[in-house]
């Protein structure tokens, strides 16, 4: 079990990392920052170390999801730049058929 100081440090670090990542959020940095701050303020009075660790893990999960969102956005932008429309349709149909087979 982590000490109070290390949990506090982890929460602050997570908050800073999320704020940094929110700069490129598709709905806008202001929207993201407001939602992020609201989520942290909602749980500011939590004192149970296990619950705090669970909330930190949930925040890390959200962080990974945002990273995946950014990667997908970059992939789509590159795909639009380097593939013509017919190739993209062909690739998407191949992917759909592959997913259906699973």
Q: Which two tokens mark 19?
A: 């704020």
Say how far apart CA 70 and CA 64 lie, in whole Å: 10
Per-residue model confidence as pLDDT tens digits over 61-100: 999 998 888 888 887 777 777 776 666 667 777 777 766 7
Predicted local distance difference test score (pLDDT) of residue 24:
85
38-51 as b/e: b if 16+ CB within 10 A = eebeeeeeeeeeee
Say how far apart CA 59 and CA 97 lie, in whole Å: 34
Is the pLDDT at 50 greater than 60, yes or no? Answer: yes
Mean residue pLDDT of the chain comes to: 85
Higher-pLDDT residue of 2, 24: 24
- The contacts found for 70-73 with CB under 8 angstroms, 24 or more apart, are 70/21, 70/24, 73/26
Predicted local distance difference test score (pLDDT) of residue 33:
92
* 31 closest CA partner among 19, 41, 43: 19
């Amino acid at each position: 079990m982590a000490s109070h100081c290390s949990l506090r440090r982890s929460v602050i670090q997570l908050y800073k990392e999320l704020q940094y990542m929110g700069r490129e959020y598709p709905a806008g940095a202001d929207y993201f920052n407001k939602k992020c701050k609201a989520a942290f303020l909602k749980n500011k009075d939590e004192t149970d170390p296990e619950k705090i660790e669970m909330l930190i893990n949930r925040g890390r999960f959200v962080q990974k999801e945002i990273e995946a969102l950014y990667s997908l956005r970059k992939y789509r932008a590159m795909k639009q730049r380097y593939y013509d429309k017919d190739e993209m349709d062909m690739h998407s149909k191949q992917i759909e058929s592959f997913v259906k087979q699973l």
